[in-house]
Amino acid sequence: MATGVREVGEFDLTMEKAAQETGLSLKEFYARVTQSVELAKAMIAFAMRVVFRLVDQIDRNMTGWEVLEPVEVKEGEFEPSIHEFLKEDDGGRVSGETMIGRAKEKKISSGLRHAEAMLRNQERIPVEWRKFVLVFAEVWQGPDGDRRVWCLFWDGKCWCLSHFWLAYGFLSGFRLVASRKVSS
């Protein structure tokens, strides 16, 4: 219930801001929106986007870790999307290195700071994403010397952050997370 109230409040604030930018009163703005079904749909879709805020620092102790293939990240908001990386003839599995290569080909990038931002506000992660392991394509070297990527997975109660060794097979239940910068 509290999440729904928060979302309605955020929607109201977004509508107020949109009204201000158009120079209309909130009442006039809503009147115009309700006269056009397409405009109303577009406004609702815009207001209900899933947006997360990046911060400057990584939240966890990274002693023994080294970023090998960093993702350029600046503070601000981003909107995540998830993407399939398997091809029809992959047999339902590819190596992590193949997955990372495909992420680069598609220009899909996200990293540990994106994962942490999503974890901080996990109630915003779409419920339908719970069936996937969300993979962030920034490559790190773990304390054991192995190449790894960070992942979020749903444990039945909450989202959890982990890392996966790139030598493992990445299956059809995994999705790459792309990030689209929204604001600074």
Element (H, E) at 116: helix 112-120
* pLDDT on residue 102: 97
- Domains of the chain: which residue ranges? 2-47, 52-183
* pLDDT on residue 45: 56
pTM of the model: 0.75
51 Cβ neighbours under 8 A, 6+ residues apart: 77, 78, 79, 124, 182
Grouped pLDDT means (10 residues each) for the chain, 184 residues? 48 70 81 75 63 91 96 90 95 96 96 96 94 98 96 97 95 95 74
Q: How far is CA 92 from CA 25, 134, 178, in A?
A: 54, 16, 21
CA distance linking residue 117 with residue 31, whole number of Å: 36
* pLDDT on residue 8: 54
101 Cβ neighbours under 8 A, 6+ residues apart: none
Interstrand relation of 66-69 and 133-141 (parallel, antiparallel or unpaired): antiparallel
* pLDDT on residue 3: 45
